[in-house]
Amino acid sequence: MNTLPSLLAKPPKSPQLVWSMALLAAIALQAPFAHATEGALGRPIAGTSVLPNVGVVPPEPVTIVSLQQIYIDGSVGGSRQVPIAGTTAVGVDGKIALTLATMLKVWGGKGGWDFASGITLPYAWTEVTANLSSRYVGASQTDSASNLFDLYITPVVAGYHLSQTDHVALSFNFWAPTGRYDKNSLANTSLNNWTFVPQVAYTKYVPKYGLEFDAVAGLQFYTRNPATDYQNAPLFTLDVMGLKKFANGVGVGLVMGTVQQLGKDSGPTADRLDGFEGHDLSLGPIVTYDTVVAGKRPLSASVRWIPSVASTRRLKSTPSVMATATLAF
C-alpha cells in the first residue's frame, strides 16, 4: 500500500491521493466531550482528538463524511465535591454515549496552503447519579437525558506540507449552545456556553518502517454559563498517537491524551470549591483499517480503548471506548 508521503508527490487527480483523503476527517472530528469543569463533564475527552493523518489537508477538493461513537462510564470519588445543577454534589457517577456525524469539505489550496471547513452534529445520551450535598443531605438522585448536543463548527482548517513526511494543520473551531439545558437537572445535553477552540495538528511519516506519528494540541476558552453564573477556566489539551501500518490495511498503535486546566473556575459555586481545578491523563491502544468500497470510495475505520490512568476533579473512566468510520466522496 502506498503511503501518503509518496501520494502527495503525484498529480492532484490521482485516485491514490483520494484514498488518503478519507482519513482527513480527523481534522473535523476534534469534537468529543467530557472531563471539563462544571459537573466534571465538559467538552474534551483525553485521547479522542487525534486520528491518523490528522495534520494533513489534501490539495484536491473532496467531501468527507464520518460517524463517530464514544462511550464513557466514570465517576468522581464519593468524598470529592462536584459543582452540578447549580449546587454541589459529593461524588458523581456518569455514563455518556455520544454519536457524532461530521461532514468536512476540502476547498483546495492557495499560496502553499490547503483549506477545509466542517460541521459536526452530535447526539448525546447521559445518565448521572449524584449525592446532593446542599439541597438534600445524603440523598442520592439519578437523572438521564437524551437529545441533540451542542453543535460543533469548524469555519476553517489550513494545512501546510512542510515536507513529504511532515505536515501541519491549523484550525479554529467553536461549540454553539444549541442543546437542551435545565440548570436544575443533573443530566443535560448542553453545557449552556460558547466554547472557542484554536488547535494545531501535526503528522510525521517514517515510510521505511511503515510508522506514523500524530499529535493535536488545543486551547478551549469558555463563556460563562448564564443559568448558573459558572465560568469554566481555559483548558489545554494534547493528544499524541504512534501507529504501525501494515500492507493489508491494518494498523496498530498507542494513544495518549491529557486535559490540563489553566487556572481556577469562578462563580459562586466554583469559589466554594476553591476553583475546582483539575486534570486528566488517558492511555490506551488503537486499531485501524483502511480499504476501498464500490471500487473507488476509500473507507477508514478505527477503534480505541483509552481509560483514565490519572484524574483529579474529572470524571475518571475505566471503560472509555471510541469507534470511527470515515468515507470520502
Residue ranges of domains in the chain, CATH in brackets: 4-328 (2.40.128.130)
Residue with grid cell 441533540, as numbered in its chain: 148
Q: How confident is the model at residue 28 (pLDDT cuts 50, 70, 90)?
A: very low
Alpha carbons 284 and 321: distance in angstroms, whole number: 10
Inter-CA distances, 155 with 30, 187, 300, Å: 13, 29, 24
DSSP class of 268: H
Bigger pLDDT: 194 vs 265: 194
Alpha carbons 44 and 232: distance in angstroms, whole number: 13
pLDDT tens for 107-150 read: 988 888 999 999 999 999 988 777 665 444 456 778 788 999 99
245-278: b or e for each residue (b if 16 or more CB lie within 10 Å)?
beeeeebebebbbbbebeeebbbebbeebebbbb
Alpha carbons 23 and 58: distance in angstroms, whole number: 10
pLDDT tens for 74-98 read: 665 555 555 555 556 566 777 888 8
| CB 282 within 8 Å of CB 47 | yes
Residue 92 dihedral angles phi and psi, to the nearest 5°? -135, 130
Of the candidates 226, 315, 229, the residue with the CA atom closest to the CA atom of residue 266: 229
